[in-house]
Amino acid sequence: MLMCCGRRIALVGAALACHGSALGVIQTVELGYQIRYQQTGATTPPVLQNYAFFSQLTSDNEFDALQAFVRPTASTAFPQRELIDLDGGLTYEFVSGTYATESAVRTDFPAGNYQFSVAGGTLGNRSANFSGPTTLLWPTLVPRFLSGTYTTITAGVRSYDPITLTFNSATLPAGATLATTSLEVRDASGFTVYSASLPNTATSVVIPANDLDAGNEHTVELRFEAVVNFPGAGFVGGSGMHRFRRSTTCTLITLPPCQADFNGLDGVDLFDLFDYLNAWFSSSPAANMDTFSSISTTDLFIFLNLWFARC
């Protein structure tokens, strides 16, 4: 017996009916499995790093509550309780940890019933059972940046120009109902500076000019995901799914700022040339390109060479 919406009820089937107009709605609940790789060369295959498991809830409402996530009784002791603050329309993800092998993931997270419970906050008290998959449906291929792209991004790219990344396409495994490709770029502090969701047939993506900081290292993560939907699983009104993910990371290096991008806007263009000439004719200190004290024709020729070469 469990408390749900302030009433004592029993678990029946895959979901629980929790009613109450004042309560928010849990839109999706899922179990996720991930294999992480790292690409360290243009021609060498990505190297397997680890496996991971995560559970995930999405709500239409902001709430502060305790979430209990309980594995099947045959697995290692649980529950794990986390204080969650979930913004409406966003996803709360709890990552359990990393594993060296797939069998180690299965030991801690076997097939069987998992229980999600939420207590307190605007969602009230509610629980539901969700069945873990009997088969792990990893995307068939490992994400991999193609040789030319990998060589370019590790040698350095111009952040003030659009950056095209090319990669192999994902393959939908048998039994999966949806396959997607996504790409995320994070700066040195781990902040996401660019992300894109793509069809599984995608083989390239263009990062707009000036989205990345110049003169920095970034982590690029390419993900292939296969999803198996379970309509009606999880919480009433929400859908359930299993997500299987392969992801490969590599380092993207952006070149230092270009002096020819004089105004620092939208890369190197005619406006930079006009702005520099205005500065040069007015003997502005900003027009000093060779660091000598006076503004001369040497500074003008240095800038023009940089502008035509786009650094």
pLDDT, tens digit (0-9, with 9 covering 90-100), for 187-244 = 999 999 999 999 989 999 999 988 998 888 999 999 999 998 876 556 766 788 899 9
Q: Which of 56-60, 87-91, 176-180 has the lowest mean pLDDT?
A: 87-91
Lowest mean pLDDT among 5-9, 33-37, 232-236, 244-248: 5-9
Q: Determine the pLDDT at residue 82.
A: 46
Both structure tokens of 107: 């030991």
CA separation, residue 76 to residues 19, 70, 72, 108, 234 (Å) = 33, 10, 9, 6, 22
Is pLDDT at 77 greater than 60 in this prediction? Answer: no
> Which whole number is the average pLDDT over 170-194?
91
Report, as an integer, the average pLDDT of 175-196.
92
> Residue 24 above 80 pLDDT?
no
> What are the helix (H) ranges across the chain?
102-108, 147-155, 270-281, 297-309
More confident residue, 213 or 35: 35
**286 pLDDT higher than 70:** yes
The closest of 229, 231, 237 to 17, measured between CA atoms, is 237
* For the chain, percent of residues with pLDDT exceeding 90: 30
> Model-level pTM?
0.74
Q: Which residues pair with 163 in a beta bridge?
A: 207
pLDDT(142) > 80? yes
Q: Is 18 helix (H, G, I), strand (E, B) or coil?
A: coil
Helix (H), strand (E) at residue 197? strand 192-199
Residue 220, pLDDT score:
95
3-class DSSP state of 263: coil
Q: How many separate helices (H) and strands (E) can be counted in the chain?
A: 4, 15
